[in-house]
Amino acid sequence: MTEIDTETFLADLYELRKIGRFRTGVHRPTFSLEDMQARRWLMTRLEECGLEASIDGIGNVLGRHRGPGPHLLVGSHIETQNEAGWLDGALGVVAGLALARAGLPVDVVAFADEEGHFSGGFLGSRSAIGDLTEGEIDAARNRTDGTPLRMALESAGLAGLSRMQLDPARYRGFLELHIEQGTQLEAAGQHLGVVSGIVAIWQFQILFEGNQDHAGGTTMIERRDAGLSAVRLLAAADWEFPKVCGPRSTWTTGRITLDPGGYSIIPGRAEVAFQFRDVSIPVLERMEACLEALVRESNRRERCTATLTALSKAIPAPCDPNLMRALSEAAEQVCPGRWQVMPSGAGHDAQNVARILPAAMLFVPSIGGISHHWAEDTCDADLVSGVRALGAAAKQVLAK
């Protein structure tokens, strides 16, 4: 088995954890000062591992192996959700560093904005496969503060840089080590998960427009309360979706913004950030049709108007069977009998890379299933098992 320097691997993870530290997690939104500091830290580490480091015009960081192929691409992302976990994404990138340090002919990548801080989502991995137009970059805005992506790229010093394009001929495939972000491995007492497929995330904005008015002077019969219309539609979706969804579908309202948001003011406007996920396109299409019908019914029944806008529709990805086989054999070597095959309920860059390269993922358990929260954590022993199995699988794929 390829000897991985697991001590330096852990040291790198804990070093990266210090950048943008927030309680026991990190806060490194895409193109923030902390994120750019992390990207510079990574470029230094990549060079120290003998790779040729670069950053491109959308913030992707690539460490290119200088020797002859065949190569594997290994990586993930290093920006995080707001006030979130230290391992989501970082684990896969630092694992790539460890494989390069062990002398494996790998390129290491940190794709930008996997976490979707900017409208459109998955900017970096979509750009790297040629699926991000200049027009989309022009139109993209930060989902929290509305900053235009062009302005954020300018402030980050990335404006005008060319954008990397992955060359499928250079790679045998793409491997991503990631935390599970759920409770299945922990509940089953397993230490590794070989991912079978990655869900697609379909994101929507639902806008409700009523009348801003006085909360006391306006009688119940004459008011047009956008907030009430919003919660009634969301409740209806929660009743209707189970009739059309799949066994592992999920749906989430991540944010309801009521304007103007005062105690004594009837909200004249409600903006809902809504998404649903599944591994099957027909299931996703059924859920979208159901949501569209609910919006039509809301417009028939409510005094407020509801407008549904699709913001992004990712493509689900089955993982490559050959890479899954290599990961399974490696998992059995590293944690005999303590691993399983499982789907990913989270979206990942691998689902975009899978559109041009064989791609697969390996999970390590999340303590308590917690993720997208500063308390996210995984024990060192599981982190080490993950990188050792990833190294063994990479070696096997490259030896063929």
252: number of Cβ within 10 Å: 12
- Nearest approach, Cβ of residue 375 and Mn ion (Å): 14
89-108: contacts with Mn ion (CB under 5 A): 89
* Rounded least distance, CB 347 to ligand HGY, Å: 4
3-state secondary structure 344-365: ECCCCCHHHHCCCCCEEEEEEC
The span of 31-39, 88-96, 210-218, 379-387 binding Mn ion (CB under 5 A) equals 88-96
Residue with smaller CB distance to ligand HGY, 229 or 371: 371
Q: Which of 12, 34, 115, 376 binds ligand HGY (CB under 6 A)?
A: 115
Tell me which of ligand HGY, Mn ion, none is bound by residue 320, counting a contact when its beta carbon lies within the kind-specific cut-off of 5 to 8 angstroms: none
- CA-closest candidate to residue 208, choices 153, 266, 248: 266
| H helix runs in 140-246, sequence order | 149-155, 184-188, 226-240
Q: Which does 63 bind (CB under 5 to 8 A by kind): Mn ion, ligand HGY, none?
A: none
85 binds, among ligand HGY, Mn ion, none (CB under 5 to 8 A by kind): none
Point out which span in 52-60, 80-88, 147-155, 259-267 binds Mn ion (CB under 5 A): 80-88
Task: Tell me the H-state helices in the chain.
Answer: 6-17, 33-48, 90-101, 123-128, 134-139, 149-155, 184-188, 226-240, 281-301, 321-334, 350-353, 380-399
Q: Does 88 bind Mn ion (CB under 5 A)?
A: yes
Cα distances from 314 to residues 125, 151, 311, in angstroms, run 12, 25, 10
| Rounded CA separation 284/277 (Å) | 7
State the distance between the two ends of the chain, measured CA to CA, in whole angstroms. 15
Which helix (H) or strand (E) covers residue 106, if one does?
strand 106-110
**Residue 63 in the binding site for Mn ion (CB under 5 A):** no
Residue 12 or 113 having the CB closest to ligand HGY: 113
Scan residues 312-351 and list those touching ligand HGY (CB under 6 A): 346-347
Query: Can residue 75 be called a binding residue for ligand HGY (CB under 6 A)?
Result: no
Provide the minimum distance between the beta carbon of 9 and ligand HGY in the complex, in angstroms, as a whole number. 22
Size of the site for Mn ion (CB under 5 A): 2
Nearest to 226, CA basis, from 236, 243, 238, 212: 212
Contact 395, 171 (CB under 8 A): no
Our finding on whether 353 is near ligand HGY (CB under 6 A) is no
317 versus 394: smaller Cβ distance to ligand HGY: 317
**Range in contact with Mn ion (rule: CB under 5 A) among 51-59, 82-90, 301-309, 374-382:** 82-90
Q: Rounded to the nearest whole angstrom, what is the least distance from the CB of residue 87 to Mn ion in the complex?
A: 9
Residue 349's closest CA among 61, 36, 157? 61
- Applying CB under 6 A, does 87 fall inside the site for ligand HGY? no
**Measuring CA to CA, which residue among 70, 98, 62 is closest to residue 168?**
70
Number of residues near ligand HGY (by CB under 6 A)? 4
CB of 96 to ligand HGY, least distance (A): 18
What is the Cα–Cα distance from 14 to 11, expressed in whole angstroms? Answer: 5
Whether residue 365 is preceded by a cis peptide bond, meaning omega within 30 degrees of 0, is no
Output 291 or 314, the one with its CB closest to ligand HGY.
Answer: 314
- Contact set with Mn ion (CB under 5 A): 88-89
- Contact set with ligand HGY (CB under 6 A): 114-115, 346-347
